[in-house]
Amino acid sequence: MSEDLTPTYVETGKAFERDMNYVPDRITAGARRPEHGPVAGELWPVEPGRYRLVAARACPWANRTIIVRELLGLQDVISLGTPGPTHDKNSWTFDLDPDGLDPVLGIPRLKDAYEKRFPGYPRGITVPAIVEESSGLLVTNDFPWITHDFFFEWKEYHRPDAPDLWPAHLREEMEEVMQRIFTEVNNGVYRCGFAGSQETYEAAYERLFAALDWLEERLADRRYLMGEAITEADVRLFTTLVRFDPVYHGHFKCNRNKLSEMPNLWGYARDLFQTPGFGDTVDFEQIKAHYYVVHTDINPSGIVPAGPDLSGWTTPHGRG
Q: Are strands 51-54 and 79-81 parallel, antiparallel or unpaired?
A: parallel
Count CB-CB contacts under 10 A for residue 39: 13
CB of 125 within 8 A of CB of 93?
no
Backbone angles phi, psi at 202, to 5 degrees: -65, -35
User: Is the peptide bond prior to 98 cis by the omega test (within 30 degrees of 0)?
Assistant: no
The one catalytic residue among 51, 59, 114, 201:
59
Q: Cite the DSSP H helix spans in 123-197.
A: 143-152, 171-181, 188-193
Q: Are 212 and 262 in contact (CB under 8 A)?
A: yes
- Asked if 59 is an active-site residue, the reply is yes
The 10 Å Cβ neighbour count of residue 174 is: 19
CB atoms < 10 A from the CB of 24, how many?
15
| Length reported for the chain | 320
192 catalytic? Reply is no
Backbone angles phi, psi at 43, to 5 degrees: -105, 130
> One of 22, 190, 201, 205 is an active-site residue; which one?
190
Peptide bond into 128 cis (omega under 30): yes
CA proximity to 319, closest of 277, 262, 272: 272
> Mind telling me the catalytic residues?
59, 190
